[in-house]
């Protein structure tokens, strides 16, 4: 499926692309870009009757506190972040890393707007940490053809989902890669955060193979409920350090004998701990309202 717009969806099959309707109360729904769907063509317009099992899924907490799928069956999550305007938020990248591992996606980071004044030391730290975690990192301008080609090589024929704050250049990269123009906007002067422009995640094929899904820009990204072990999987540097902890069940929350305390940078450790505390608070809240 290419996109969803209200009660309608755009799907692609061997005959090309077409518009179909969504069945009310669709089991496993609502569908999202990347889903493989079952279409019933018995009527005057096709209608989606089912969603096939998802191979991967990127999920977040949406409105009303419900877990919501953002994109399905993607191979790669490309977290796009600006080095300035809007400001770089390393913890947002960490949250996406946890979501990528939980959903079965590989992850890469693209840092844009390096032509603007920025804190070079902060950017270098983010690059070092993310590469140490095993994530490819590219740095440049979304308007630079060289960076666009690097991103194309990174995707390498796969289905890639672009995610991150509004105004960081996701739609600009999508347009440069696909030739399909997406809405873009300047950064808000009041909040210095991107204006929300892409509202309907859309799967767009790439010339030569592969495809991208330009997801809606966010101001925050809240993880769905998950176990501490799932959160830790998004921090492979902490998992590696855990082998030297005194106790096998160490939570790395300042416990005595915790090897991560000395092996992992404080800011990185605090990012991990904040997610663990949020997950434990959510569990406690749920238990209190059973």
pLDDT at 282: 65
Burial class (CB in 10 A: 0-12, 13-18, 19+), 45: exposed
Residue in 144, 19, 162 with CA at minimum distance from that of residue 77: 162
Residue 186: predicted pLDDT = 41
Q: Would you state the structure tokens that stand for residue 80, as one six-digit string?
A: 């796009």
- Please report the pLDDT score of residue 65 as a whole number: 82
Q: Splitting the chain (290 residues) into consecutive groups of 10 residues, what average pLDDT does each group show?
A: 92 92 86 95 87 96 87 98 96 97 98 97 97 96 97 98 96 95 45 46 94 90 90 94 91 91 93 91 55
What contacts 285, CB < 8 A, 6 or more positions away?
none
Neighbours of 39 (CB within 10 A): 17
- In terms of DSSP bridges, do strands 3-5 and 57-61 run parallel, antiparallel, or are they unpaired? unpaired
What is the reported pLDDT for 278?
A: 87
Residue 284 pLDDT: 54
Q: Does the predicted model carry a pTM greater than 0.75? A: yes
Helix (H, G, I), strand (E, B) or coil at 79: strand
């Amino acid at each position: 499926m290419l996109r969803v717009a209200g009660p309608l969806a755009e799907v692609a099959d061997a005959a090309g692309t077409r518009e179909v309707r969504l069945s009310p109360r669709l089991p496993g729904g609502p569908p999202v870009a990347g889903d493989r769907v079952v279409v019933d063509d018995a009527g005057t317009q096709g209608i989606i009757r089912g969603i096939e099992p998802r191979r991967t899924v990127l999920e977040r907490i949406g409105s009303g506190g419900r877990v919501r799928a953002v994109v399905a069956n993607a191979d790669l999550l490309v977290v796009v972040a600006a080095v300035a305007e809007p400001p770089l938020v390393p913890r947002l990248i960490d949250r996406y890393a946890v979501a990528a591992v939980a959903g079965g996606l590989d992850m890469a980071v693209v840092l844009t707007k390096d032509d603007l004044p920025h804190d070079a030391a902060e950017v270098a730290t983010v690059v070092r940490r993310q590469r140490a975690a095993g994530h490819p990192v590219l740095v440049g301008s979304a308007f630079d053809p060289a960076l666009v080609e690097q991103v194309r090589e990174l995707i390498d024929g796969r289905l890639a989902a672009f995610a991150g704050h509004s105004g960081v250049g996701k739609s600009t990269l999508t347009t440069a890669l696909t030739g399909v123009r997406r809405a873009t906007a300047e950064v808000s002067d009041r909040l210095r955060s991107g204006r929300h422009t892409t509202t309907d995640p859309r799967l767009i094929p790439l010339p030569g193979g592969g495809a991208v899904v330009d997801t809606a820009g966010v101001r925050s990204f809240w993880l769905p409920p998950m176990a501490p072990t799932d959160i830790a999987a998004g921090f492979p540097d902490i998992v590696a350090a855990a082998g030297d902890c005194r106790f096998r069940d160490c939570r790395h929350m300042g416990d005595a004998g915790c090897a991560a305390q000395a092996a992992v940078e404080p800011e990185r450790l605090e990012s991990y701990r904040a997610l663990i505390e949020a997950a434990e608070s959510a569990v406690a809240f749920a238990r209190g309202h059973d």
